[in-house]
Amino acid sequence: MSQPQRIARIQRETSESRIDLTLNLDGTGVSDIQSTVPFYDHLLTAFAKHALVDLTVRAQGDIEIDVHHTVEDIGIALGQAIKQALGTKEGISRFGDALVPLDEALVQAVVDISGRPYLVHTGEPAGFEFHLIGGHFTGSMVRHVFEAIAFNAALTVHVTVVGGRDPHHIAEAEFKAFARAFRQAKSLDPLVSGIPSTKGAL
């Protein structure tokens, strides 16, 4: 019996943003990201490439006020798409972990497709949250994105910045580490029969 396609499309519209996002969990890393926030495009492109998912994002938002609403709402839509595309979660590996360097930065990420939303996010250097990366993307948004994804996809996520100095490198390493951990967790394991939980549900 063939595996059902793990594809989702989320359209989210508020007074602050309009998001149209498609996700294929069994893709090859192809992405087409137009978030209107250039550095976020860069991070989401890296996520798709290293998670081996196909991802398309079209977004419009009130970036004249701040990028916050658009960035967070895309994270919410991505989390919802992940949850929808995972379907019953039968046959998945469930757990994934990765340790990813980017020059001087080093980040560890661990993902459990647990059905229980939880984020532990530590290690960013003091002042990172205030830094404007590319002149528009505040460092604090990295945590907001992981919160939005974890809580809307019902994932347990641990992201630990082991070290780093350059804010661009730190943020990018965080997204790449999360991507690699998620890639393992969402992968189909031929040795897994049914739902990988003693409770019989995730």
DSSP string, 141-166: HHHHHHHHHHHHHT-EEEEEEEE-S-
Query: Residue 2's pLDDT is what?
Result: 62
> Does residue 131 lie in a domain region?
yes
What CA–CA distance (Å, rounded) separates 170 from 128? 9
Residue 147 has pLDDT above 90, yes or no: yes
- What pLDDT, in 10s, does the model give residues 153-174? 999 999 999 999 999 999 999 9
Backbone angles phi and psi of 152, in degrees to 5: -90, -25
Q: How far apart are CA 76 and CA 194, in angstroms?
A: 28
Question: Is residue 195 in a domain?
Answer: no
Instruction: Provide the domain count of the chain.
Output: 1
pLDDT digits (tens, 9 = 90+) for 48-68: 999 999 999 999 999 999 999
CA distances from 112 to 15, 66, 89, 131, 134 (A): 33, 32, 12, 30, 32
Q: Which residues contact 18 (CB under 8 A, 6 or more apart)?
A: 12, 59, 60, 61
> What pLDDT does 106 receive?
98
Asked if residue 201 is part of any domain, the answer here is no
Q: Strand, helix or coil at 57?
A: strand
Alpha-carbon Rg for the chain in angstroms: 16
Which residues lie closer than 8 Å to 195 by C-beta, 6 or more apart? 88, 89, 90, 201, 202
Q: Which domain holds residue 27?
A: 7-186
- Measuring CA to CA, which residue among 24, 1, 40, 69 is closest to residue 186? 24
CATH label of the domain that carries residue 104: 3.30.230.40
Q: How many CA atoms lie within 13 A of 58 on its CB side?
A: 5
CA distance 68 to 16: 10
pTM for this structure?
0.97
Predicted confidence (pLDDT) per residue in 23-36, tens digit: 999 999 999 999 99
Assigned domain for 191 exists:
no
Report whether pLDDT(181) > 80.
Answer: yes
Please work out, in degrees rounded to the nearest 5, the angle formed at the alpha carbon of residue 31 by the alpha carbons of 134 and 166.
30
